[in-house]
Chains A and B, each alone.
Chain A
Amino acid sequence: MSDDRNLVDRVVVEPLDDERWTAIERGVIGALRTASIERALADARPARRWVWPVLGGALAAAAAVGVILARRAPDRAIDPTGDPAGAPALAIATDATGTRIDLGRAVLTVAPDTAFALARPGGGVDVALDHGAIELAVAHREDLPPVVVHAGDVDVIDVGTVFTVERRADGAVSVSVREGEVRIERAGTSTRVVAGQRWAGGELVAIDSDRGATTGPIAQTGAVAIPIGGPNDLLSRRHVAAPPRGAAAPHGHADGHAARSGAAAGIAPPAAADPIADLRAAIAAQPIPAASDVGTTDPTAALERYRRLATDDKGAQASGGLYGMARVQSLALGQSAEALRTLGAYVKRFPDGAELEAVLWLRLRILCRGGIDDACRAAAHTYLGRFPDSDRAGLVERITVARQ
Chain B
Amino acid sequence: MAAVAYVEDIVLVDRCLTGEEAAARELFRKHRARVHACLYRVLGANRDMDDLLQDAFIQVFQSLKGWRAEASLATWIDRVAVRVAYRYLSQRKNAPPTLELVDDVVAPGPSGARRASAREGVRRLYAALDALPPAARLAFALHELEGRPMAEVASLTGATVTATKLRVWRARRALTAKAAADPVLRELLAEGVR
Residues of A within 8 A of B25 (CB): 25, 29
Q: Is A251 an interface residue (CB 8 A)?
A: no
Query: Nearest chain-A residue to B188 (Cβ)?
Result: A10
Residues of B within 8 A of A143 (CB): none
How far, in angstroms, from A33 to B62 measured CA to CA in the complex? 11
Residues of A within 8 A of B45 (CB): 14
> Are the C-beta atoms of B21 and A13 separated by less than 8 Å?
no
Q: How large is the interface on B (under 10, 10 to 19, 20 to 34, 35 or more residues)?
A: 35 or more
Give the residues from 2 to 57 in chain B that come closer than 8 angstroms, CB to CB, to chain A: 19, 21, 24-25, 28-29, 32, 36-37, 40-41, 45, 49-50, 53-54, 57
> Are the C-beta atoms of A8 and B147 separated by less than 8 Å?
yes
> Are the C-beta atoms of A1 and B54 separated by less than 8 Å?
no
Query: Would you call the interface of chain A mostly helix, strand, loop, or mixed?
Result: helix
Interchain CB contact (< 8 A) of A4 among B29, B32, B40, B192: B192
Stretch at the interface among B67-75, B78-86, B88-96, B165-173: B165-173
How far, in angstroms, from A14 to B144 measured CA to CA in the complex? 18
Q: Is A232 an interface residue (CB 8 A)?
A: no
> Are the C-beta atoms of A13 and B54 separated by less than 8 Å?
no
> Are the C-beta atoms of B28 and A28 separated by less than 8 Å?
yes
How far, in angstroms, from A245 to B139 measured CA to CA in the complex? 60
Say how far A17's CB is from chain B's closest CB, in angstroms: 11
Residues of A within 8 A of B19 (CB): 36
> Are the C-beta atoms of B57 and A4 separated by less than 8 Å?
no
Say how far A320's CB is from chain B's closest CB, in angstroms: 23
Say how far A85's CB is from chain B's closest CB, in angstroms: 33
Interchain CB contact (< 8 A) of B37 among A4, A13, A20, A27: A13
Q: Is A144 an interface residue (CB 8 A)?
A: no
> Are the C-beta atoms of B118 and A23 separated by less than 8 Å?
no
How far, in angstroms, from A23 to B188 measured CA to CA in the complex? 34
How far, in angstroms, from A135 to B82 measured CA to CA in the complex? 50
Query: Nearest chain-B residue to A36 (Cβ)?
Result: B19
Given contacts A16-B36, A29-B24, contact A1 B62 (CB under 8 A): no
Residues of B within 8 A of A7 (CB): 125, 144-145, 188-189, 192
> Are the C-beta atoms of A10 and B121 separated by less than 8 Å?
yes
Residues of B within 8 A of A23 (CB): 50
> Are the C-beta atoms of A6 and B191 separated by less than 8 Å?
yes
> Are the C-beta atoms of A27 and B24 separated by less than 8 Å?
no
Given contacts A16-B36, A24-B50, contact A10 B192 (CB under 8 A): yes
Residues of A within 8 A of B32 (CB): 21, 24-25
Q: Is A32 an interface residue (CB 8 A)?
A: yes
**Chain A residues within 8 Å of B, Cβ to Cβ:** 1, 3-8, 10-11, 13-14, 16, 20-21, 23-25, 27-29, 31-32, 35-36
**Chain B residues within 8 Å of A, Cβ to Cβ:** 19, 21, 24-25, 28-29, 32, 36-37, 40-41, 45, 49-50, 53-54, 57-58, 61-62, 118, 121-122, 125, 144-147, 150, 165, 168-169, 172, 188-189, 191-194
A-B contact pairs, 27 of them (CB 8 A): A4-B189, A5-B144, A5-B192, A7-B188, A10-B118, A10-B121, A10-B188, A10-B191, A11-B40, A11-B41, A11-B122, A13-B37, A16-B36, A20-B50, A24-B50, A24-B54, A25-B32, A27-B54, A28-B54, A28-B57, A29-B24, A29-B25, A31-B54, A32-B21, A32-B24, A32-B61, A35-B58
